[in-house]
């Protein structure tokens, strides 16, 4: 489910801004390479070090190694084995309990209610009164409880400030329409649910999942078909723009939450932003998530979902740091040019979060994963 929450609102024809980093990267709009497009004569020339240099934003650097399959030291094996038989089952039971409890709360609050079916989205985010209050409050509390179960006992939050010349005079116009965040892990979803309970973009199949499906409808998720045609993409983009404008103008409307990178990284880089979250011309609230680690990185990059969950739950303590920037108000020039708006917000977040800008994207991530799995070779 969490994997499906990656932002699909992208400008398919946009060119990513140039990187300030020194890594060897490729353009985000380059098509996916086919296995028959790679010269077999250069297969042996590519090794793991070359791959890590070329695809640095997706490289795992924790003690578990690439794809979580590295050789562990005896001490690490002992700790992992102990956690597998003690900590893991306890956390699985507690996490399942939290999920079921919140599902039952959502089920109770939506009894005899008809979901909103505008734009074919089918959600309960438009509920009002005590029903909505209970869903939101319990959602925030139980999401934080879930993070606690996962080992995130403390979540330090800090704020930064910068001078803005475009701040509106009206208090109503100061309200952001969308939260813009870097994307590191499916855990990002839980943090934002515990903080502001916003609406996300999710794969259409998420709505049909047991337990999670109803919860996603209560969040007011916008559902997309990941392999959809451009016509469907335009429809989703229009729905998201309307939701962002509504959240900006109506304080009772749920905020939108977008990951404009479109995929996850290892947390040290910031990929090019898609323009979908900036088309509404509304102010945005940038939030930066940083996962500090000693043994296992919570970043979901080059590791399978099951292996990631097991290793995560076997860590006695996990760490996340949150940096909240002030609401960013676009200038008239940025309103007229969503690419410029997205690029400026991206560079600000990279500067405030000490992140390295990279030009590669989801296409290169797939190539890297395929290479790691020895499915294709990279020249």
Annotated domain spans of the chain = 59-164+173-378
In angstroms, the CA 324 to CA 152 distance is 18
| pLDDT of 119 above 70 | no
Cβ-contact 59, 301 below 8 angstroms: yes
Q: What's the pTM? A: 0.82
Report, as an integer, the average pLDDT of 264-293. 94
- Longest pairwise C-alpha distance within the chain: 67
Percent of the chain with pLDDT over 70: 79
| pLDDT of 233 above 60 | no
Distances (CA, A) of 336 to 14, 236, 326, 339, 370: 15, 21, 22, 9, 39
| pLDDT of 120 above 70 | no
Kindly state the DSSP code that residue 123 receives in the 8-state scheme. B
Chain centroid to CA 216? 15
| pLDDT of 86 above 60 | yes
Instruction: Specify the higher pLDDT residue, 225 or 257.
Output: 257
pLDDT band at 232 (very low <50, low <70, confident <90, very high): low
Beta partners for residue 324, in sequence order: 159, 287
Quick one: pLDDT at residue 29? 45
pLDDT band at 33 (very low <50, low <70, confident <90, very high): very low
pLDDT band at 169 (very low <50, low <70, confident <90, very high): low
Three-state secondary structure readout of 151-207: CCCCCCEEECCCCCCCCCCCCHHHCCCEEEECCCCCHHHHHHHHHCCCECEEEHHHH
Instruction: Specify the higher pLDDT residue, 326 or 1.
Output: 326
- Is 217 exposed, middle or buried (CB count within 10 Å of its CB: 0-12, 13-18, 19+)? buried
pLDDT band at 160 (very low <50, low <70, confident <90, very high): confident
Alpha-helix runs per DSSP H in the chain? 48-54, 74-85, 87-109, 130-149, 187-195, 212-219, 230-249, 305-313, 332-336, 338-353, 362-372
User: Comparing C-alpha atoms, which of 263, 267, 269 is closest to residue 356?
Assistant: 269
In angstroms, the CA 256 to CA 234 distance is 17
Tell me the residue length of the chain.
379
In angstroms, the CA 82 to CA 314 distance is 9
Q: What is the pLDDT of residues 185-200, one digit of tens each?
A: 999 999 999 999 999 9
DSSP H or E segment with residue 323: strand 321-324
Report, as an integer, the average pLDDT of 233-238. 68
In angstroms, the CA 152 to CA 147 distance is 5
| pLDDT of 181 above 70 | yes
Cβ-contact 37, 374 below 8 angstroms: no
In angstroms, the CA 213 to CA 106 distance is 11
In angstroms, the CA 376 to CA 24 distance is 20
Q: Is 83 left (phi over 0), alpha (psi -120 to 50) or beta?
A: alpha
Quick one: pLDDT at residue 19? 40
Name 43's Cβ contacts closer than 8 Å, sequence gap at least 6. 377
| pLDDT of 14 above 60 | no
In angstroms, the CA 37 to CA 162 distance is 47
What's the mean pLDDT when you consider all of the chain?
Answer: 82
pLDDT band at 228 (very low <50, low <70, confident <90, very high): low
Quick one: pLDDT at residue 203? 85
User: Comparing C-alpha atoms, which of 94, 48, 46 is closest to residue 69?
Assistant: 48
| pLDDT of 231 above 80 | no
In angstroms, the CA 209 to CA 113 distance is 20
DSSP secondary structure letters along 4-45:
GGS-----TT--PPPP-S-S----TTPPPPPGGGS-GGGGGG
Report, as an integer, the average pLDDT of 47-53. 79
């Amino acid at each position: 489910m969490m994997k499906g929450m990656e932002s699909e609102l992208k400008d398919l024809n946009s060119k990513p801004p140039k990187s300030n980093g020194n890594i060897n990267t490729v353009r985000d709009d380059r098509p996916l390479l086919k296995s028959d497009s790679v010269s077999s004569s250069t297969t042996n020339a590519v090794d793991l070090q070359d791959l890590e240099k070329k695809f640095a934003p997706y490289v795992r650097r924790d003690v578990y190694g690439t794809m979580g399959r590295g050789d562990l030291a005896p001490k690490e094996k002992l700790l992992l084995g102990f956690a597998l038989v003690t900590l893991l089952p306890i956390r699985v039971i507690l996490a399942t309990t939290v999920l079921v409890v919140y599902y039952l709360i959502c089920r109770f609050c939506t009894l005899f209610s008809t979901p909103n079916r505008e734009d074919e989205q089918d959600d309960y985010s438009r509920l009002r009164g005590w029903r909505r209050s209970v869903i939101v409050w319990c959602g925030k509390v139980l999401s934080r409880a879930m993070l606690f179960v996962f080992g995130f006992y403390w979540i330090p939050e800090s704020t930064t400030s910068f001078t803005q010349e475009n701040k509106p005079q009206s208090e109503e116009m100061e309200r952001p329409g969308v939260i813009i965040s870097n994307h590191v892990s499916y855990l990002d979803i839980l943090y934002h649910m515990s903080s502001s309970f916003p609406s996300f973009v999710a794969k259409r199949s998420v709505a049909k999942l047991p337990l999670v499906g109803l919860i996603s409808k209560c969040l007011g998720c916008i559902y997309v078909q990941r392999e959809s045609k451009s016509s469907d993409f335009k429809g989703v983009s229009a729905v998201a723009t309307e939701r962002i404008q509504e959240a900006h103008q109506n304080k009772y409307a749920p905020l939108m939450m977008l990951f404009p990178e479109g995929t996850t990284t290892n947390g040290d880089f910031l990929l090019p932003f898609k323009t979908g979250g900036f088309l509404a011309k509304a102010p945005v609230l940038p939030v930066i998530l940083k996962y500090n680690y000693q043994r296992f990185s919570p970043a979901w990059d080059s590791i399978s979902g099951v292996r990631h969950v097991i290793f995560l739950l076997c860590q006695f303590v996990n760490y996340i740091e949150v940096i909240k920037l002030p609401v960013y108000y676009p200038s008239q020039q940025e309103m007229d040019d969503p690419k410029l708006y997205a690029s400026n917000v991206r560079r600000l977040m990279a500067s405030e979060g000490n992140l390295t800008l990279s030009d590669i994207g989801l296409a290169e991530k797939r190539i890297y994963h395929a290479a790691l799995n020895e499915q294709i070779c990279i020249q």
